[in-house]
Structure 1
């Protein structure tokens, strides 16, 4: 059968020429195909006609700048723009059917990059023939550097791509057709060449992240792209379902070799076991894949499940409804037990209130300073250093109240509070040094602790006076 031609408009307004092959019978799967450098999708008519005969629909396109697509010849600005083109063509595949990405040579490089990127709907698998991962020949460093430099101000300039047409196939008839095809080109733009080789070689580093089912075919005698590089990518990729075929006595275009029919059949045989959709979802002959007719088939089982699901849910719900009372009764017990620990903490809460009842008298309005005293408590040690003498003489009083030492909670709490309040006069003391009468008037609150301290120094004075009398 012949292909159906069409056009798509890319995001940057470049027109992409498309070809599609649709099965005469039910459609079981779809394939998006990407051709190689310097060629076009029309060269694979003999391949995808057989795909269609086996129920596999194919959507292909001419890359921008190649074949019948528009844009500067043999030019693509970046890998990102090229990935957008691939995504646009792939979006035309029926979402209800298994979908495979297939690429050859430079198109194989693009297919691998596309399937490496995670999307909402990953393809079912990837089919690659003779991918460009590394060239099989040495690319001149000088030529590459000159091209990269020129691409900065003239990226669409085309130069010879360096490919020898006789290396594409052992079949001389296929080589002759390649040379005579006016849609083929032996040129490549310096802008495309600048990113094509680096992005191809990058695949070896990305291989460990590759997980999709993969069929990789390469001609063992390929002189354009490296078969060893394909072997390396295959060995490094983490796909659980992967197949590598290095075909002996074949050059670069395995789909245009003398034994091409064997290669085509191998691909078809690899696709069929990986079809996840049942044949009942197949698309009838000649109908557009966008028509929602394939959804009619699954609608039959969709109506049945509710009938069987509802009774099963009711039975499941009735059983657990009888048993839940027990778990509900137990949590009530758990709620009845915790009150005991709740009753105990109040006892601890009852003790602190006692010291709290006394300070209100001294601090009528400043509840806030009661909460913020810790800061002044840290600073008072300085004034304590200045009063070591009364502290040395106070031991006599410390010896008498051992009882208070045995019961530190109350006296410590009571004395601590005046100490907490004392910092205020201490802070104001520097100003009061010149006018001492004021602190004497404000000190009556601390009369309980100071009388003993002041009494002793008075006795000392009396002692001195008695000595004079003697």
Structure 2
């Protein structure tokens, strides 16, 4: 019976994991291998055999064969642009015409396909490798954006700024969506900067995947601390976060309560929508997150982003956006972050402004209200916009201007 179960259920899923999902990280492959290792050991007559012997007895490819096949499949997908991976970060490519129909060859690998990005070449962790990149503590290069450089000459780079503003973007998107917010704040005398979170936009890492939200928080503080070194010690520091970026902002402020002069939350993801997640879904999500952490389990409905069709189309057409949906492991880590934030709401004493649309179908407006109600902050404010969707800063022009004005005025009064 177990043999039939193995052939009908376990083995097909193993093939899916190896050929379709095709994990990039060695630790993910080890998890999958261990599933098959345990499963084959339970088959009658194979208990005392080694893993390789059990595979041969079942007529299955060996472990080494499957690993090489997996890497070759991934290599093919990368070279043919089937996977959204920058092949130039993995290989040094060269045009060639005398092979079997292939237009390029690999001169040398830059990093192993099955290794994590912690072994990538570059300077020491935490040191900027260029003006638009930093390397985080896990060895991933993060794309950074400093909007003031676009609007000012070299002679005005060292002017006095009223405050530093870090922008934390949401899931699947990237920091370049926040140029309008940045420009308005720059006009008020702020220094505005951001980065694409790991696995997003032009930063390295598996797309829209994270092992823990603590990694996002670590990257935020690393980046801000590096920028702060260039400014007077008492320069105010603010953080503005949207959606997932709102969760990152709250977690960051909770971990270092005296760090930020103020926190602005735009449609933050800080509480699950009431009734949206059943215990069965949570249990299933935990299983998938363990076995297939990068499996996409739910698509984002872009029509729920904004009432402005142009804003929705801009998002849908953007090639830096990850359009495949929410991944199992990321979803589980978001739920864990909800628990952390909920437990800390009553201890919040830092200044914040929370903004939310009451028609937001992606992030529960109840979470923003709960934060406001339970926080002990003396300087706290909440604004709920009637009829607004998730990206309230991307709504039709007049409504968008209202939200942006509220953000800029709140920061302006506290700088």
Category of TM-score, reference length = shorter chain? 0.5 to 0.7
Is the Cα–Cα contact under 8 Å of residues 135 and 224 in structure 1 kept in the other structure?
no
Q: How many Å apart are 1:143 and its aligned residue?
A: 4.3
Q: How many Å apart are 1:124 and its aligned residue?
A: 0.5
Match of 2:271 among 134, 137, 162: 134
List per-residue Cα deviations over 1:421-450 (Å, max 9, x = no partner): xxxxxxxxxxxxxxxxxxxxxxxxxxxxxx
Q: How many Å apart are 1:201 and its aligned residue?
A: 4.0
1:36 aligns with 2:176: no
Corresponding position of 1:453: none
Q: How many Å apart are 1:123 and its aligned residue?
A: 1.0
CA distance in 2, matches of 1:162, 1:124: 36
Is the Cα–Cα contact under 8 Å of residues 207 and 233 in structure 1 kept in the other structure?
yes
Corresponding position of 1:75: 209
Corresponding position of 1:17: 143
Q: How many Å apart are 1:160 and its aligned residue?
A: 4.0
Q: How many Å apart are 1:252 and its aligned residue?
A: 0.5
Q: How many Å apart are 1:5 and its aligned residue?
A: 6.6
List per-residue Cα deviations over 1:437-469 (Å, max 9, x = no partner): xxxxxxxxxxxxxxxxxxxxxxxxxxxxxxxxx
What does 1:389-408 correspond to in 2, within 5 Å? none
Task: Say which SS state the counterpart of residue 80 (structure 1) adopts.
Answer: helix
Q: How many Å apart are 1:153 and its aligned residue?
A: 4.2
What does 1:332-411 correspond to in 2, within 5 Å? none
1:165 aligns with 2:305: no
Give the TM-score, by structure 1 length. Answer: 0.55
Segment of structure 1 superposing worse, 82-91 or 181-190: 181-190
Task: Say which SS state the counterpart of residue 202 (structure 1) adopts.
Answer: helix
Corresponding position of 1:432: none
Q: How many Å apart are 1:96 and its aligned residue?
A: 3.3
CA distance in 2, matches of 1:89, 1:261: 29
Task: Say which SS state the counterpart of residue 367 (structure 2) adopts.
Answer: helix
Q: How many Å apart are 1:163 and its aligned residue?
A: 2.0
CA distance in 2, matches of 1:135, 1:151: 18
List per-residue Cα deviations over 1:135-173 (Å, max 9, x = no partner): 337135444433322332443x23043321000111111
Task: Say which SS state the counterpart of residue 132 (structure 2) adopts.
Answer: strand
Is the Cα–Cα contact under 8 Å of residues 359 and 388 in structure 2 kept in the other structure?
yes
1:45 aligns with 2:171: no
What does 1:191-270 correspond to in 2, within 5 Å? 191-258=329-396, 259-270=399-410
Is the Cα–Cα contact under 8 Å of residues 5 and 17 in structure 1 kept in the other structure?
no
Is the Cα–Cα contact under 8 Å of residues 297 and 328 in structure 2 kept in the other structure?
no
Are residues 161 and 18 of structure 1, via their aligned partners in 2, closer, same or farther at CA, if it must alter by over 3 Å? Answer: farther
CA RMSD of aligned residues (A): 2.0
Corresponding position of 1:89: 223
Is the Cα–Cα contact under 8 Å of residues 136 and 222 in structure 1 kept in the other structure?
no
List per-residue Cα deviations over 1:351-373 (Å, max 9, x = no partner): xxxxxxxxxxxxxxxxxxxxxxx
CA distance in 2, matches of 1:263, 1:178: 19
CA distance in 2, matches of 1:133, 1:201: 9
Structure 1 unaligned regions, length at least 5: 276-470
Q: How many Å apart are 1:203 and its aligned residue?
A: 1.7
Is the Cα–Cα contact under 8 Å of residues 358 and 387 in structure 2 kept in the other structure?
yes
Segment of structure 1 superposing worse, 4-13 or 210-219: 4-13
Q: How many Å apart are 1:181 and its aligned residue?
A: 0.8
Aligned length, in residue pairs: 270
CA distance in 1, matches of 2:279, 2:146: 40
CA distance in 2, matches of 1:45, 1:136: 29
Task: Say which SS state the counterpart of residue 244 (structure 1) adopts.
Answer: strand
Give the TM-score, by structure 2 length. Answer: 0.62
Corresponding position of 1:122: 259
Is the Cα–Cα contact under 8 Å of residues 106 and 132 in structure 1 kept in the other structure?
yes
Greater share of helix residues, 1 or 2?
A: 1
CA distance in 2, matches of 1:184, 1:135: 23
CA distance in 2, matches of 1:193, 1:42: 24
Corresponding position of 1:185: 322
Moved over 6 A (4+): none
